[in-house]
Amino acid sequence: MDRRVHPILAAFAACVFFFLLSPLVIIVGAAFSDTTYLTFPPQGLTLRWFVNIFEIEAFRTTALTSLQVAFFGTALSLLIGVPAAYAINRYRVELPRWLSTIFVLPILVPEIVFGFSLMKSVTIGLGLPIFISLLVGHALLILPYSVRVVGASLAAFDFSVEEAAISLGCPPLKTFLTVVLPNIRAGVIAAFILAFITSINDVSVSVFLTGPGISTLPIQILAHMEQFFDPTIASVSVLLMFVTVGVMAVVEATLGLTFLTK
């Protein structure tokens, strides 16, 4: 390397990384502390706060709801997002330009405004059950990820392969499933993972869509924090972090993490 980084800049970057990573270390430490209040460095090591999570019913049920909403919401967003990404890339010339812009909208509209509006018109206006509203809200929230990430891998796909299959007599749907889909598999998996992480951590949309009896894990954590300040919250956070690390390990194994920076 002929270009050297100025030592002051390097030291600054080191401080930034310390700033970025130490809070996570602190949460992990606090989660194992054998005290009834949150503290760091941990005093004594215990797993009882982790056991405590599973003893509190609210955490169990909301974790289950979160997983269900994240899973089905992501699946739903892919189900409608992949065809949309396909159409945008395949018929780029024929389609009006606003059509691809429309999928940027869920990012542009503030999440909290979206959650509030959805609650007003769908949950209360149409009287949909809470779980369905949550599912719909999350699916829409993560739709841009599905469309854009899948779209990115479709942009690299050579559509003449598809034409070849069709000209050889393969029906369109079968062509899509057996020729196009395997080629964009990496993009679909990446979209699934990004969308899943977004959904499972969402607060702003869920906060309006949860109701009596049904809530998601982040909302439950917020509610718990208002009443207790014990290491349970830290251990729930650690569990959520483990889920994320696990998901990241899957990304690393299938695609390599550089994918995320593209």
Partner 1 sequence: MPATIAVVVLLIVPVAITIAATFAEPKGVFAPYVTFFSSGFRRAVLYRTLEVALVTTAISLTVGFITAYVIAQMPGRAKSIMIIAAVFPLLTGVVVRSFAWLIILGKNGILNAMLISTGIIGEPLSMLYTEGSVIVAMVYLFVPLMILTLVGVLEGIPRDLIDASASLGARPLMTFFQVILPLATPGLIVGAVLVFTGSFTSYATPQLLGGEKQMMMGTFLYQRAMVTFDWVGASTIAAIMVVLTLGVVLIMSRIARRLNPMAV
User: Cβ of residue 140: shortest distance to partner 1, in angstroms?
Assistant: 5
Q: Which stretch binds partner 1 (CB under 8 A): 155-163, 164-172, 175-183, 201-209?
A: 201-209
The yes or no reply on residue 230 touching partner 1 (CB under 8 A) is no
The yes or no reply on residue 155 touching partner 1 (CB under 8 A) is no
The yes or no reply on residue 113 touching partner 1 (CB under 8 A) is yes
CA distance 64 to 66: 5
The yes or no reply on residue 207 touching partner 1 (CB under 8 A) is yes
The yes or no reply on residue 250 touching partner 1 (CB under 8 A) is no
The yes or no reply on residue 253 touching partner 1 (CB under 8 A) is no
User: Cβ of residue 171: shortest distance to partner 1, in angstroms?
Assistant: 20
> Which one among 36, 43, 121, 254 touches partner 1, defined by CB under 8 A?
121
User: Cβ of residue 34: shortest distance to partner 1, in angstroms?
Assistant: 16
Q: Which stretch binds partner 1 (CB under 8 A): 24-32, 49-57, 155-163, 168-176?
A: 24-32
Binding mask 67-96 for partner 1 (x = CB under 8 A): -------------xx-xx--x---------
User: Cβ of residue 141: shortest distance to partner 1, in angstroms?
Assistant: 9
**What letter represents residue 31's amino acid?**
A
Q: What are the two backbone dihedrals, phi and then psi, of residue 49, each rounded to the nearest 5 degrees?
A: -70, -30
Q: What are the two backbone dihedrals, phi and then psi, of residue 214, each rounded to the nearest 5 degrees?
A: -120, 125
Q: Which is nearer to partner 1, 32 or 208 (CB)?
A: 208
Q: Which stretch binds partner 1 (CB under 8 A): 56-64, 162-170, 176-184, 197-205?
A: 197-205
Q: Please check whether residue 77 is in contact with residue 194, taking contact to mean a CB–CB distance below 8 angstroms.
A: no
CA distance 44 to 34: 5
Instruction: Tokens 């999928």: give the residue.
Output: 103
User: Cβ of residue 111: shortest distance to partner 1, in angstroms?
Assistant: 7
User: Cβ of residue 82: shortest distance to partner 1, in angstroms?
Assistant: 9
The yes or no reply on residue 208 touching partner 1 (CB under 8 A) is yes
Q: What are the two backbone dihedrals, phi and then psi, of residue 33, each rounded to the nearest 5 degrees?
A: -70, 135
Q: Which stretch binds partner 1 (CB under 8 A): 157-165, 166-174, 184-192, 237-245?
A: 237-245
Tokens of 159: 């559509």
> Which one among 43, 117, 178, 254 touches partner 1, defined by CB under 8 A?
117
